Amino acid sequence: SGIQISTETTDLEKLTLFLEATRKLNTVGVLDEILVTLVDTTLKLIRAERGYVFLKDEEGNLRLAAGRNSKGEALLDDKTISHSILDEALKSNSEFLFTDTSQSLDLAVRQSIVAYDLRTVICMPLRKPQVQTTRDAPLVSSNTQEVTGALYLDSRFASRDISSVSHDILRVIATDAASLIENARLVQAEEVSRRYQQELAIAASIQQRLMAVTIPEVPFAKMRGRNLSCKEIGGDFFDVVNTEDGLAVVLADVSGKGVSAAVLASTLQGMVYAHLIARMPLTDIMASVNRFFTQKHLGEKYATVLITKIHQDGVLEYVNCGHVPPLLVSGSQVSRPQHGNLPVGLLADATYESDRVHLKPGDRFILVTDGVTEAENARGDFYDNERLEAVAAVSPTLEDIFASVSTFCEGNPLGDDCTVVELLYTG
């Protein structure tokens, strides 16, 4: 037979212990400190040897959150506990209190009980705090409340029968701790979110500086561009490089949104800029970028790109890689060159061809991302190409295009990044 714990704790001592636990639990705010206080207090109350707290993660899987022994030492391994009792307590949402497992035929033959000589085993579900919407609303039964974890205590010694006072205090401590744990986890989640937003703001600032465009002055052309991101950071970018044989402009749209798209957009921008400075042909630039994307195995990531170079004589060469077709505005006439190539990143051995148009003084070559043409209003209608062409034909500024999109959307938030770039040939 096991060793009996002979020392009794008086009801007054138990009450003192409860009040001390309540004070500690309400003065600590960090989740780890709450867990340690819960385990240490209940170990003293029940006079058990080991105590553990298990909490469910976001996927609903049970994880060891804290473990302590009666000496105040951390326990990092839960292999020697009775997992069968832990599982039953969670599945049934019921308390299990066994002060002498040798007196129960069912428990005496359990593998973990026998293997680790466990005589006292207590497991109490930790339940999500009940929110009472109105004063007269009925209280929800504890057995129907959502289980968020469990408090587990055990010992190799058989405890004397736990009094109703001890049981009630244990239950109250566990209930209060469950509420504080839930609050601490919410605070923790808010802190993680705050840090993420802070890092996102820093990333957005870095991206803005990386993608800041200094528009060069050339005697034969003018260039303007504007970008609106639907998130803090996005996958659209444009850039302009003045080379010896012409003014090069690139507009790209990396698939997806947010951080991953922004990282790839920055990488793509750096590659294209370096190749333009090196005076690499436009088709070779796109082939190089495509090889990079496909060889890196970036999953579903790809990019549509429109890269152009306008020469002093008005000849404009462009390579359209799956991008929204550009607009050529000549007087009141608007045309849309349709020829294109595959987006970069889809097919490793894709080849890229360029096209040419000859601009007259006053002609405008307008590039947009699909965030413009696919902008939606509250009814789900797209802004579409026809509206863009109509505005471009009569409006000489980019601001008019963005104003038209904003009016069309009627306050509906943008679903994708919007970028518009215009090349004006002055002759």
pLDDT digits (tens, 9 = 90+) for 184-225: 777 777 877 787 677 666 666 665 666 666 777 888 999 888
Report yes or no: 349 and 382 within 8 Å, Cβ to Cβ. no
- At residue 267, does pLDDT exceed 60? yes
Mean pLDDT of 250-268: 80
Q: What is the pLDDT of residue 143?
A: 56
In the chain, what are the helix, strand and coil shares in percent, each to the nearest 5? 40, 25, 35
Count Cβ neighbours within 10 Å for each residue of 279-299 and write b for 16 or more, e otherwise: eeebbebbbbbbeebbeeebe
Q: What is the pLDDT of residue 204?
A: 65
C-alpha span between 126 and 291 (Å, rounded): 54
Domains of the chain: 11-194 (3.30.450.40), 211-425 (3.60.40.10)
The 10s digit of each residue's pLDDT in 364-396 is 999 988 888 888 888 888 888 888 888 888 877
Mean pLDDT of 35-44: 86
pTM equals 0.57
- List helix spans (H) across 62-163: 83-92, 105-108, 111-115
- At residue 308, does pLDDT exceed 80? yes
Q: What is the pLDDT of residue 263?
A: 79
Average pLDDT, the chain: 80
How is residue 359 annotated by DSSP? P
Q: What is the pLDDT of residue 69?
A: 94
Task: Write phi, then psi, for 229 (nearest 5 degrees).
Answer: -90, 140
